[in-house]
A and B are shown apart, each in its own frame.
Chain A
């Protein structure tokens, strides 16, 4: 089934949630690790799925990405990270998504 243009997948909303909850910009692996923690999943999000979602969120202007200073990475002895931060548009969109999902959650039948 084709997705509506501009509609967000649950993974993309979860990424926005994580970016919103963090004071620091996050890199791809850190996002994958936190996503797995949040959903109590045993395996991390696949590379292709994760980076495609990040690319799409950046293209929509909901996330902003930048490469960290190469000297910083060199000093730490690792490849430089691409860091993602929530934009104002991303925060607004997240608020809309939360507002949409809240009534839907309220309509769910109670089991206890």
Chain B
């Protein structure tokens, strides 16, 4: 049954977020196809394993056509969907980068490696600082789940501190901080931060927005052309897909 499970998982994945009638019709049609396929194989005495392999292979070969069908049928305007995808990808990558950077730099504190070529005092201080930043980022990411505004504020403080402390790395750190804070705000708005008082929520939101604004002002000369280029590129790709879908 593995091939059928793969096929059903795939159809659920690529129909996610589509209008319900189109999604339901495709799910039902594929369920029927899989049943008929297995029934026909049983009637002709074929081995179950070979049939499941054939079903998985049919799914894999049609994946590109499935995605193209999805682009034609999707409800949200394609450019918005593409931009949203890039936004989340930026949040994940930026968070991963900051965690990696601080984690590797703070590793000497845990005795994972030593920094013998540095002055002992400097090395210790740097490693301790990076460990604190790393733990702050980890706590921020964990808090996004239950207390998103607190998590976002923590991420905003840590990433803003990093942008200023390592000011020579601003081309890398400021976009990362902006992506992390932006993602945190988006998560907080989606999860609607229950359990916090109004004044606390306002204070955390103000802190986060201040950090985001600071970054936006600093990065504007670099960010604005970049965002415009990304938006134009994403729109062009989405339109190309839609045209191709209509033609197909």
On A, residues with C-beta under 8 Å from B are: 2-5, 27-30, 32-33, 43-52, 55-56, 67, 78-82
Contacts and interface: CB of A to CB of B under 8 A. Distances in A.
B32 A48 contact: no
Interface stretch (B61-69, B118-126, B175-183, B211-219): B61-69
A3 B32 contact: no
B64 A48 contact: yes
Given A29-B36, A47-B33, A52-B65, A82 B25 contact: yes
A78 B28 CA distance: 11
A33 to B, nearest CB: 7
Interface string B230-248: 0000000000000110111
Contacts of B7: 47
Contact of A78 (B30, B35, B64, B66): B35
Contact of B40 (A33, A43, A56): A33
Contact of B32 (A28, A44, A45, A56): A28
B32 A29 contact: yes
Interface of B: 7, 11, 25-26, 28-33, 35-37, 39-40, 54, 57-69, 243-244, 246-248
Contacts of B243: 2
A25 B136 CA distance: 64
A39 B39 CA distance: 22
A67 B248 CA distance: 24
A54 B168 CA distance: 58
A12 to B, nearest CB: 10
A47 B62 contact: yes
Contacts of A29: 32-33, 36-37, 40
Nearest to A67: B28
B32 A27 contact: yes
A49 B32 contact: no
Given A29-B33, A29-B37, A47-B59, 13 more contacts: A2-B243, A28-B33, A29-B40, A43-B57, A45-B58, A46-B62, A47-B7, A51-B26, A55-B69, A67-B28, A78-B39, A81-B36, A82-B29
Nearest to B14: A48
Given A28-B29, A51-B30, A55-B69, A46 B59 contact: yes
A43 B58 contact: yes
Given A29-B36, A51-B29, A78-B36, A56 B248 contact: yes
Contacts of A49: 61-62, 65
Contacts of B29: 28, 51, 82
Contacts of A80: 28, 32
Contacts of A30: 36
A3 B61 contact: no
A33 B40 CA distance: 10
A2 B69 contact: no
A80 B28 CA distance: 8
